[in-house]
Structure 1
Amino acid sequence: MFLRVARHTNDLERIVDFYVNILSFELLGDFQNHNNYDGVFIGKSGLDWHFEFTKSHEDANHTFDQDDVIVLYPKSIIDYDVLVSNVIHGNIPILTANNPFWNENGVMFMDPDGYRIVLSPLKAIINEIN
């Protein structure tokens, strides 16, 4: 199975900058004026998933609550530390999560559209499953 998480945005440039330069994803592709949408595909080469962000003449209307979270598990503690450092050096505020599990097992912050993201060391998911 392949997974694409598609989301509309008002600012593709800021989204690309955030996901590529802060979170170290790759710009896998893009398109312009496809049925009045511009868009980008962001992820990691060779994986079975990616994010698609689109922009059109209609404004994005995001509605979500504090527990709607994208959780990313870097493969190593070194990768985790680098990404957290990128967030801090990017002057992106660290948030207190509504769910205390994320405060104990990672850091939460928001992307340019206001979606919450958690970076959590891979050991946290291993501990959670076991």
Structure 2
Amino acid sequence: MPANAAAHVRIARPSRDLEAAERFWISGLGLDVLYRHASNGMPDDHSLLMAGWPDAAWHLELVNDPAAPVEPRPTAEDLLVIYLGEPVPDSLVERLEQHGGKRVPAHNPYWDTWGVTIQDPDGYLLVLSTRNWSNS
């Protein structure tokens, strides 16, 4: 299959703590666990978590290799933007904060005008945008 609009996208990132990341992305944002790989055969000692919505054309792969850990190094411009097309519910921001997120000001003030920026437990930024987006 050629690279085109039908291709699925995986965003892979290192994580310091997959349990904390899972609380944020699954319990906080509401993504589903699509796949989990357990290291050492222990279900709670997993080294890979794939999170996403089942019908989405993208998913997150969060990895933690206990034998060779990679420290997350997010920058102010490493954003995962989700376009909601409506006001960001206060209840969603509160749930993300209750599950390890931290609301932060955006580096680019555009995102403060058009959304809410939440830092995940590894320091990466999730923007919930009030705008719509279409590539067409």
* TM-score category of the 2 structures, normalised to the smaller one: 0.7 to 0.9
User: Quick one: structure 1 residues 63 and 89, their matched pair in 2 at CA, closer, same or farther if it must change by over 3 Å?
Assistant: closer
Structure with greater helix percent? 1
In the TM superposition, what whole-angstrom CA distance separates every residue of 1:58-97 from its partner, at most 9, and x where no partner exists?
Answer: 22222232122111123654xx314223235447432111
Kindly indicate whether residue 79 of structure 2 is the aligned counterpart of residue 69 of structure 1.
yes
Distance 1:53 1:115 in 2: 12
Aligned residue runs from structure 1 range 1-130, under 5 A: 1-33=7-39, 38-56=47-65, 57-74=67-84, 76-77=86-87, 80-81=88-89, 82-90=91-99, 92-121=101-130, 124-126=131-133
Instruction: With the length of structure 1 as denominator, give the TM-score of the two structures.
Output: 0.79
Question: What 5-or-longer segments of structure 2 have no aligned partner?
Answer: 1-6, 41-45
Tell me the C-alpha RMSD between the 2 structures.
2.5
Paired residue total: 122
Q: CA deviation at 1:117?
A: 1.3
What letter is aligned with 1:11? D
Q: CA deviation at 1:10?
A: 2.0
Query: Percentage identity across aligned positions?
Result: 26
Distance 1:40 1:87 in 2: 18
What letter is aligned with 2:122? D
